[in-house]
Amino acid sequence: MIGSALVPDVVAHPLQRSHQDPWDDNCFYHCKVCQKGWAQFKNSCYYFSSGDATFKDAMISCISIGAGLLEFQNKIEETWVDLQIKHRAMKFEFDLNEFQSELMTFEEKQRPLFRPLGMTCPVEECPNSTHFRRYGQLLDHWIDIHKEKRKLAKCKSCKKCLRTKASARKHISATHRENNVDGLLVDIMVQNRSYISPGDTPFPRKMTQTEKRSRKREEEKEKRKRLLKECERNPLFDEERATRTNATVNRDKVMVFDVNGNAQRLRLLR
Q: What is the pLDDT along the chain (270 residues), one digit of tens a residue?
A: 566 665 554 433 333 333 333 333 444 444 567 878 788 888 788 888 777 777 778 778 888 877 777 777 788 888 888 888 777 665 554 444 444 555 554 554 467 888 888 999 999 899 998 999 999 899 889 988 998 888 888 888 888 888 888 888 888 888 888 777 888 888 888 888 889 999 888 888 888 888 788 888 888 888 888 888 877 776 555 544 444 444 444 444 555 555 565 655 555 444
Residue 118 and residue 104 in one domain: no
- DSSP secondary structure letters along the chain: -EEEEEPPEEEPPTTSPPSS-TT-TT---EEE-PPTT-EEETTEEEEE------HHHHHHHHHHTT-EE----SHHHHHHHHHHHHHTT------TTTSHHHHHHHHHHSPPBPPTT-B--S-TT------B-SHHHHHHHHHHHS-SEEEEEEETTT--EESSHHHHHHHIIIII--S-TGGGEEEEEEE-TT----TTPPPPBPPPHHHHHHHHHHHHHHHHHHHHHHHHHSTT--HHHHHHHHHTTTS-EEEEE-TTS-EEEEEE--
Residue 26 and residue 70 in one domain: yes
pLDDT value for 258: 59
Q: In the listed set 109, 144, 173, which residue is the last one of a domain according to the structure?
A: 109
Residue 129 and residue 183 in one domain: yes
Specify the CATH number for the domain of residue 91.
3.10.100
pLDDT value for 10: 42
Residue 32 and residue 73 in one domain: yes
Residue 194 and residue 150 in one domain: yes
Residue 159 and residue 219 in one domain: no
Q: In the listed set 177, 205, 233, which residue is the last one of a domain according to the structure?
A: 205
Residue 118 and residue 200 in one domain: yes
Residue 139 and residue 64 in one domain: no
Q: What's this model's pTM, rounded to 2 decimal places?
A: 0.43
pLDDT value for 141: 92
Residue 6 and residue 105 in one domain: yes
- Say how many domains are in the chain: 3
Q: Which domain holds residue 13?
A: 2-109
